[in-house]
Structure 1
Amino acid sequence: MTEKPTTRKRFNILAMIFITVVINYLDRSNISIAASALQEDLGIDSIKMGYVFSAFAWTYALLQIPGGAIADRIKSRVLYTFIMVFWSIATLIQGMVNSFTALIGLRASIGFFEAPSYPINNLVVTRWFPENERATAIGIYTSGQFLGMAFLLPILTLIQDAFGWRGLFIISGIIGLVWAAIWYFFYRDPKDHKSISESELNYIQEGGGLIETKKQTEVKEKFNWEDIKEVFSYRKLWGLYIGQFCLGATLIFFLTWFPTYLVKYRGLDFLKSGFLASIPYLAAFVGVLLSGFTSDYLTKKGYSVETSRKLPIIIGMLLSIGVIGANYTDDTFFIILFLSISFFGNGLASIAWVFISLIAPTRLIGLTGGAFNFIGGLAGIVVPIVIGYLVKDGDFSPALFFIGGIALLGFVSYTFIVGKVERIVPKNK
Structure 2
Amino acid sequence: MRKVSGLRWWMVGLIFLATVINYVDRQTVAVLKKSISDDLGLSNPEYAAVQNAFLIAYAASQMLSGRLYDAVGTRIGFTISIVVWSIAAVAHAAARSMTSFAFWRSVLGLGEAGNWPGAAKSIAEWFPPKERALGMGIFNTGAAVGGALSPPLIALLASYWGWRPTFIITGGLGLGWLVLWLFLYRLPAEHPWLREEERAYILEGQREAARSRGARGEAWHPGWIELLRYRQVWAVVVGRFLTDPIWWLYVFWLPSYFQEARGFSLAQVGWSAWFPFLAAGLGALTGGWASGHLIARGWSADRARKTVMAAGALLLPAGILAMRAESPYVALAWMGVVLFGFQVWINNVQTLPSDFFPGSAVASVAGLGGTAAAVASVLYNWNTGRVVGAMGYTPVFVIAGVLGPLGLAAVFLLAGRIQRVVIKG
The two structures have a TM-score, normalised by structure 1, of 0.84
Note if contact 2:61-2:111 (Cα within 8 Å) is conserved in structure 1.
Answer: no
- CA 1:84/1:299 → structure 2, altered by over 3 Å: closer, same or farther? closer
Partner residue in 2 for 1:220:
219
SS of residue matched to 2:273? helix
CA distance in structure 1 between the partners assigned to 2:240 and 2:323 by the alignment: 25
Instruction: Give the alignment partner of residue 263 of structure 2, picking from 244, 267, 274.
Output: 267
Note if contact 1:262-1:273 (Cα within 8 Å) is conserved in structure 2.
Answer: yes
Partner residue in 2 for 1:160:
158
CA distance in structure 1 between the partners assigned to 2:194 and 2:354 by the alignment: 32
- CA 1:262/1:166 → structure 2, altered by over 3 Å: closer, same or farther? same
Instruction: Give the alignment partner of residue 400 of structure 1, picking from 394, 397, 402.
Output: 397
Note if contact 1:287-1:346 (Cα within 8 Å) is conserved in structure 2.
Answer: yes
- CA 1:179/1:228 → structure 2, altered by over 3 Å: closer, same or farther? closer
Deviations 1:109-137 (A, max 9, x none): 11112232223333434444455544433
- CA 1:192/1:38 → structure 2, altered by over 3 Å: closer, same or farther? same
Instruction: Give the alignment partner of residue 248 of structure 1, picking from 223, 228, 244.
Output: 244
Question: Counterpart of 2:229 in structure 1: which amino acid?
Answer: E
CA distance in structure 2 between the partners assigned to 1:222 and 1:289 by the alignment: 31
Instruction: Give the alignment partner of residue 38 of structure 1, picking from 30, 36, 39.
Output: 36
SS of residue matched to 1:418? helix
CA distance in structure 2 between the partners assigned to 1:109 and 1:85 by the alignment: 11
Partner residue in 1 for 2:23:
25
Q: What's the offset of the Cα at 1:373? A: 2.7
1:86 aligns with 2:95: no
Q: What's the offset of the Cα at 1:141? A: 1.7
Note if contact 2:27-2:150 (Cα within 8 Å) is conserved in structure 1.
Answer: no
Note if contact 1:59-1:108 (Cα within 8 Å) is conserved in structure 2.
Answer: yes
SS of residue matched to 2:218? coil
- CA 1:238/1:71 → structure 2, altered by over 3 Å: closer, same or farther? closer
Partner residue in 1 for 2:141:
143
Note if contact 1:288-1:347 (Cα within 8 Å) is conserved in structure 2.
Answer: yes
Structure 2's unaligned 5+ residue stretches are none
CA distance in structure 2 between the partners assigned to 1:399 and 1:10 by the alignment: 40
CA distance in structure 1 between the partners assigned to 2:303 and 2:201 by the alignment: 32
Question: Bigger shift: 375-384 or 417-426?
Answer: 417-426
Partner residue in 1 for 2:68:
70
- CA 1:28/1:390 → structure 2, altered by over 3 Å: closer, same or farther? same
CA distance in structure 1 between the partners assigned to 2:333 and 2:66 by the alignment: 38
Instruction: Give the alignment partner of residue 289 of structure 2, picking from 285, 289, 293.
Output: 293
Instruction: Give the alignment partner of residue 196 of structure 2, picking from 195, 199, 210.
Output: 199
CA distance in structure 2 between the partners assigned to 1:303 and 1:209 by the alignment: 19
Partner residue in 2 for 1:329:
325
Question: Counterpart of 1:175 in structure 2: which amino acid?
Answer: L
SS of residue matched to 1:391? helix
CA distance in structure 1 between the partners assigned to 2:51 and 2:123 by the alignment: 30
Partner residue in 1 for 2:388:
391
Question: Bigger shift: 220-229 or 247-256?
Answer: 220-229
Partner residue in 2 for 1:115:
113
CA distance in structure 1 between the partners assigned to 2:198 and 2:356 by the alignment: 32
Instruction: Give the alignment partner of residue 14 of structure 1, picking from 12, 15, 27.
Output: 12
Q: What's the offset of the Cα at 1:69? A: 2.0
SS of residue matched to 2:107? helix
Partner residue in 1 for 2:311:
315
RMSD: 3.4
Deviations 1:7-51 (A, max 9, x none): 444433332222111111211222111112111111111111111
Note if contact 1:68-1:119 (Cα within 8 Å) is conserved in structure 2.
Answer: yes
Number of aligned residues: 417
Partner residue in 1 for 2:369:
372
SS of residue matched to 1:340? helix
CA distance in structure 1 between the partners assigned to 2:236 and 2:77 by the alignment: 30
Instruction: Give the alignment partner of residue 54 of structure 1, picking from 52, 55, 58.
Output: 52
Question: Counterpart of 1:139 in structure 2: which amino acid?
Answer: G
Note if contact 1:265-1:394 (Cα within 8 Å) is conserved in structure 2.
Answer: no
Note if contact 1:284-1:347 (Cα within 8 Å) is conserved in structure 2.
Answer: yes
Question: Bigger shift: 177-186 or 15-24?
Answer: 177-186
Question: Counterpart of 2:156 in structure 1: which amino acid?
Answer: L
Structure 1's unaligned 5+ residue stretches are none
CA distance in structure 2 between the partners assigned to 1:111 and 1:331 by the alignment: 35
Q: What's the offset of the Cα at 1:361? A: 11
- CA 1:49/1:139 → structure 2, altered by over 3 Å: closer, same or farther? same
Q: What's the offset of the Cα at 1:245? A: 1.9
CA distance in structure 2 between the partners assigned to 1:35 and 1:85 by the alignment: 25
CA distance in structure 1 between the partners assigned to 2:37 and 2:276 by the alignment: 24
SS of residue matched to 1:95? helix
SS of residue matched to 1:85? helix
Note if contact 1:21-1:144 (Cα within 8 Å) is conserved in structure 2.
Answer: yes
CA distance in structure 2 between the partners assigned to 1:20 and 1:367 by the alignment: 20
- CA 1:371/1:405 → structure 2, altered by over 3 Å: closer, same or farther? same
Partner residue in 1 for 2:275:
279
Question: Counterpart of 2:322 in structure 1: which amino acid?
Answer: A
Q: What's the offset of the Cα at 1:171? A: 1.0
Note if contact 1:361-1:426 (Cα within 8 Å) is conserved in structure 2.
Answer: no
Question: Counterpart of 2:375 in structure 1: which amino acid?
Answer: L
Deviations 1:358-400 (A, max 9, x none): 5679997665444333212223322221110111136211221
Question: Counterpart of 1:328 in structure 2: which amino acid?
Answer: R
Partner residue in 2 for 1:177:
175
CA distance in structure 2 between the partners assigned to 1:272 and 1:184 by the alignment: 39
Deviations 1:268-326 (A, max 9, x none): 12112122111111211222222233333444555566653223323322211111222
CA distance in structure 1 between the partners assigned to 2:197 and 2:18 by the alignment: 24
CA distance in structure 2 between the partners assigned to 1:137 and 1:364 by the alignment: 18
Note if contact 2:55-2:378 (Cα within 8 Å) is conserved in structure 1.
Answer: yes
CA distance in structure 2 between the partners assigned to 1:359 and 1:77 by the alignment: 24
Question: Counterpart of 1:83 in structure 2: which amino acid?
Answer: S
CA distance in structure 2 between the partners assigned to 1:306 and 1:208 by the alignment: 16
